Structure 1
Amino acid sequence: MNIKPFFGLGGVLIAAMTSEFNDQVTSIALIDVRGALGISHDPGTWISSLYVSAEIVGMAISPWLMVTFTLRRWMLFSIGLCAASSVLIPFNPNIEAIYALRLLQGLAGGLIIPLLMATALRVLTPDIRLYGLAVYALTATFTPALAETVAALWTDVVDWRFVFLQTIPLCSLAGVLVWYCLPQDQPQYQRFRMLDWRGALLLVIGTGALSTMLYQGDRLDWFNSKLICVLALVSAIAIPLLLVNEWFHPLPFLKLQLLGRRNLAYGALGLFTFLIVGQSGSTVPLGYLQEVQGYRPLQSNLITLEIAVSQLVMLPAMALLLDYKRVDSRVVSLVGLGLILTSCIGSSFLTVYWNRDQFYLWQLLQAIGQPMVIMPLLLMATNTVTSPAEGPFTSALVNAPRALAEAAGAWFLELIGRWRGALHSDRIVDEVGQDRWRVIQSYGVLPQYPPPLLPDGRPRAPGSLEAFSHAVEQQVTILTTSDTFLILGALTVFLMVVVMTLPVRTMPPRIQFAKN
């Protein structure tokens, strides 16, 4: 048995995890990165926004280019682009150049991740394909959860530059494994004669406008901003044109006709929804701990590290479980979604006294539930592939919504924070009443339980207007966080309904493909 392709798959996995770190670790450490580079808040928001916009494009076009240039060559190019764009960022004081490098970094990340699924489907036989899907699932559950710990290591222990310099050893190892272990195919340059250049142009314009609008809309006050209005108009025109173009093009980037297969349609919709719920379920507790309790990443990373470590056990266990003929993958998904729903409901009872310890149980339910959803989803989606030629199209259809889910998740959390936060702020101020305001103005006394803290950890002097304002902000954050968990729970219920209605039962690959 030739084991070299398995090492090649390991190289692609390392590259995919590196690209995820470029995204997630940078977002978590963004305050430190902005401070070190001298970038203020508003310009700094584009560091994440540009990355995601380019990532969406990369995920849509990478499978097509992989077939044209061959897997090995395209993978090596993507790894090189990832390394070069990352290494230059911490040494560049020019913000325009940093924006350009983040675009290239996001494009590289988008090019790499679909290749992991394509490599797993190619290298692993049906007997062990489920374990290859577990390898791909690591980038959706394990790597984002590990990112908080990695960010804490670089920003609080080592040096912020390693947020970007981490790519040097990782990409070097990935490149060596891919170079020596993946087979070299014959390139198909004749495909350029049928290049879908209209689709590529509409993809860049439409998805770029949509993701930028979702990321920047809250900061720019949505449709009170001319830029947001223009982006909304552009995306409303370009994306329908893109879908029409892809439907009729003979060699498209996105073969939309495949979505007529119910399980593949579920794979695209389910992964999009699951990533919003799963990643938000991890980031919301971190936001609470940072805003209310003043935690740094080094203090809060243990609750996400719990999820990350659990995936190393749960994902292979789910592959083993789903390999049994009697196991219905839809039932496994429903059980996993039930655990995630319980986690969301339990976390919604948080109070000002909650710290890291109170989140461990609920994050453990997330850690168990997430692989129970992602593994059946990947099984049902990839079992729709009936020929090798359909593999790249399937990868593009599954991964493009995955990138868009990050922008949609950021918009979703900002919408909840703005909508519910304003409501709770108004209610709290109203409930204080005019009598209590007169007490504050006359005597400067308003007891706080517990007393609010200054940034350095010392208690504020009780009774001041500043202390009252801080207490109101604290309560608004707590109530908004509670609402966020409940809304994520409602989104989980929606996904449960989708699981019960859209996909059909499928067999393990060793049985499914033996029949064919």
Structure 2
Amino acid sequence: MNTPVQEMPSWRVRIGFVAAVFGMFMAILDIQIVASSLNEIQAGVSASQDEISWIQTAYLIAEIIMIPLSGVMARIFSTRTAFVISSVGFTLASLGCAMASTINELIVLRAIQGFMGGAMIPITQAVSFTIFPRHKMGSVQAVIGLVATIAPSIGPTLGGYITQHMSWHWLFLVNVIPGILVTIGVWCLLDIDTADRKAIKRLDVIGLALMALFLGTLEFVLEEGPDDDWFSNRLILGFSVVCAVSCVLFFWRAFTARYPIINLRLFRERNFATGVGLVFVIGIALYGLVYLMPLYFGTVRHFNSLQIGEVMFVTGIAMFVTAPLVGKFSDLVDLRILIGLGLLLTGIGSVMNANLTEDSGYWEFFLPQLVRGVGMIMCMVPCARIALGSLSPQQVGDGSGMFSVMRNLGGAVGLALLDTVRDHQRDYHWMQLIPSINQGREVVVTELARYQQQFTGVVSDPQAAAIKMIASRVAGQAEVLAFNDIFLWLGLIYIVAFPIVFLLRKPT
């Protein structure tokens, strides 16, 4: 167990920490900021539909490789230097992305951006547990939790607004000035430890290579699998085999090396292991809902990015208002109670959207978003405290890296499952609805006649056009029913996960 810090850090260090939090915000924001602007970027760099998805995949793969390395970086270079290296690399890569003229350049630079920026996330988390006393940790983790949840939520909205009013290049240029300020702030103000150059000699290069191969191929399979029909695609199958083999070798190396690249023995601490498992589940909703709601409004309601942003803004407001209260209550109430309530509220909020129609809009999502937003922030804040608060100061760096990796992996697994379930359920509901579309039913005959009359004199074959319109309506209904199934199952995941809370020990 760690000996907690008893006194507040100086104002100099606190301001440096705020700068680090802004860096963390930028790194998480950039995961999703391009999500609603892919068409504009595709046109700008003359990319194909298959190629453009790689500007997100490359970022995620690189980021998830770097996150667990942050602890090693901080030991070798010191916390301040490791963060500054990450911030400078992220800022320069952002500038390069804005100047890219081809898809290949953009993919490479996005990978560099994700890799360099990835370290800012767990380093900031680790710093919070290093410099602040235990009795202030509720407020501190409320800020961290707010950043971790709001950044991906507003990413697509902010990206759409920027692209619509300026150009897609500004999706990356907006990082430059804040990146410079963050770099200066952390370098000048956050000098909290010293470098250990001897740690370079203890660096497990083999373990590092195996971890990069394992996490990189895993992220690739989860990102590309749903679109490429999983293992029927030879490339996905090949990467899956590489992932499985490198996974086994990585875990073997981690438990046998004298100085492993990642200290997996931290999972012997029950609260850490359970907390990391819970944040994996939280990641499914955190990233899954950010993906699912714009997808619904884009495909079913045909909203533009600003209209989608107006709807999703409700979640951000709910989190923003709730975070300080949760931070305060986490100092007064058993953290396990907050996590349990958060899981239930997230689940209930998802189930509330399991009765959508083709006309569902802002108000049908308003209350469910409030409930989900409150629930997710109630999970995130105490989950970090209960998982990382049980570690010693020397272990927090590795622990925060694994905590962030599991949150991102939860999101990746969630997105892959959501896409797969959506495709399956859409086909299932199509097959269930089609038998009812026959000319023995009066309503079908009436609708066909109405459409046929509309197309008479407009197209050469009015009957075929009328049938096509009926098929389109059936496909739309199947799509909506598939979304209902996803919201229902997503909610049940959190309700079923509730008993996990009982595995946690009461924090001391």
Q: CA deviation at 1:85?
A: 1.1
- 1:263-342 maps to which residues of 2 (within 5 A)? 263-324=271-332, 327-342=333-348
User: Distance in 2 between the 1:148 and 1:27 partners?
Assistant: 5
- Please point out which of 22, 31, 53 is paired with 2:61: 53
Q: Does 1:400 align with 2:405?
A: yes
TM-score, with structure 2 as normaliser: 0.92
User: Distance in 2 between the 1:13 and 1:299 partners?
Assistant: 29
Superposition RMSD in Å: 2.4
Q: In the alignment, which residue of structure 2 is the partner of 1:471?
A: 473
Q: In the alignment, which residue of structure 2 is the partner of 1:390?
A: 395
Deviation string 1:18-40 (CA, Å, 9 cap, x unpaired) is 11121111123223222322222
- Please point out which of 241, 255, 265 is paired with 1:233: 241
Q: In the alignment, which residue of structure 2 is the partner of 1:424?
A: 429
User: Distance in 1 between the 2:449 and 2:48 partners?
Assistant: 36
Q: In the alignment, which residue of structure 2 is the partner of 1:509?
A: none
Report the 3-state secondary structure (helix = DSSP H, G, I; strand = E; otherwise coil) of the residue aligned with 2:393.
Answer: coil
User: Distance in 2 between the 1:373 and 1:5 partners?
Assistant: 28
- Please point out which of 144, 147, 151 is paired with 2:159: 151
Report the 3-state secondary structure (helix = DSSP H, G, I; strand = E; otherwise coil) of the residue aligned with 1:445.
Answer: helix
Report the 3-state secondary structure (helix = DSSP H, G, I; strand = E; otherwise coil) of the residue aligned with 1:363.
Answer: helix
Q: Any conservation in 1 of the 2:129–2:389 contact (CA below 8 Å)? A: no
What amino acid is the match of 2:242? V
User: Distance in 1 between the 2:142 and 2:443 partners?
Assistant: 62
Report the 3-state secondary structure (helix = DSSP H, G, I; strand = E; otherwise coil) of the residue aligned with 2:241.
Answer: helix
Q: In the alignment, which residue of structure 1 is the partner of 2:506?
A: 505
Deviation string 1:439-493 (CA, Å, 9 cap, x unpaired) is 77x9953679xx9xxxxxxxx9997233223212211221111001011012112
What amino acid is the match of 2:501? V
Q: Any conservation in 2 of the 1:253–1:393 contact (CA below 8 Å)? A: no
Q: Compared with structure 1, are the counterparts of its residues 3 and 408 closer, same or farther at alpha carbon in structure 2 (3 Å cutoff)? A: same
- 1:81-120 maps to which residues of 2 (within 5 A)? 81-120=89-128
Q: Does 1:445 align with 2:453?
A: no
Q: Does 1:137 align with 2:138?
A: no
Deviation string 1:176-213 (CA, Å, 9 cap, x unpaired) is 21122111633111111111111111111111111111
User: Distance in 1 between the 2:24 and 2:178 partners?
Assistant: 10
Q: Does 1:494 align with 2:496?
A: yes
What amino acid is the match of 2:437? V
Q: In the alignment, which residue of structure 2 is the partner of 1:433?
A: 438
Q: CA deviation at 1:497?
A: 2.1
What amino acid is the match of 1:468? I
Q: Any conservation in 1 of the 2:162–2:171 contact (CA below 8 Å)? A: yes
Report the 3-state secondary structure (helix = DSSP H, G, I; strand = E; otherwise coil) of the residue aligned with 1:218.
Answer: coil
Q: CA deviation at 1:174?
A: 0.8
124-133 or 56-65, larger mean C-alpha shift: 124-133
Q: CA deviation at 1:265?
A: 0.7
User: Distance in 2 between the 1:185 and 1:119 partners?
Assistant: 10
429-438 or 247-256, larger mean C-alpha shift: 429-438
What amino acid is the match of 1:425? W
User: Distance in 2 between the 1:108 and 1:28 partners?
Assistant: 23
Q: Any conservation in 1 of the 2:323–2:377 contact (CA below 8 Å)? A: yes
Q: Does 1:10 align with 2:15?
A: no
- Please point out which of 162, 167, 180 is paired with 1:172: 180
Q: In the alignment, which residue of structure 2 is the partner of 1:348?
A: 354
What amino acid is the match of 1:176? I
Q: Does 1:411 align with 2:416?
A: yes
- The percentage of counterpart residues that share the same residue type is 23
User: Distance in 1 between the 2:51 and 2:294 partners?
Assistant: 23
User: Distance in 1 between the 2:468 and 2:98 partners?
Assistant: 38
Q: Structure 2 stretches of 5 or more lacking a match?
A: 1-8, 455-461
Q: Does 1:209 align with 2:213?
A: no
Q: CA deviation at 1:339?
A: 1.5
Q: Does 1:183 align with 2:185?
A: no
Q: In the alignment, which residue of structure 1 is the partner of 2:4?
A: none
Q: CA deviation at 1:64?
A: 1.1
Q: How many residues are matched?
A: 492
Q: Structure 1 stretches of 5 or more lacking a match?
A: 452-459, 507-511
Q: Any conservation in 1 of the 2:283–2:409 contact (CA below 8 Å)? A: no
Q: Any conservation in 2 of the 1:255–1:397 contact (CA below 8 Å)? A: no
What amino acid is the match of 2:49? H
Q: Does 1:220 align with 2:221?
A: no
Deviation string 1:366-404 (CA, Å, 9 cap, x unpaired) is 11111111112112112211x321111211221221222
User: Distance in 1 between the 2:504 and 2:36 partners?
Assistant: 35
Q: Does 1:72 align with 2:80?
A: yes
What amino acid is the match of 1:410? L
TM-score, with structure 1 as normaliser: 0.90
Q: In the alignment, which residue of structure 2 is the partner of 1:121?
A: 129
Q: Compared with structure 1, are the counterparts of its residues 438 and 207 closer, same or farther at alpha carbon in structure 2 (3 Å cutoff)? A: same
Q: Compared with structure 1, are the counterparts of its residues 94 and 271 closer, same or farther at alpha carbon in structure 2 (3 Å cutoff)? A: same
User: Distance in 1 between the 2:127 and 2:56 partners?
Assistant: 28
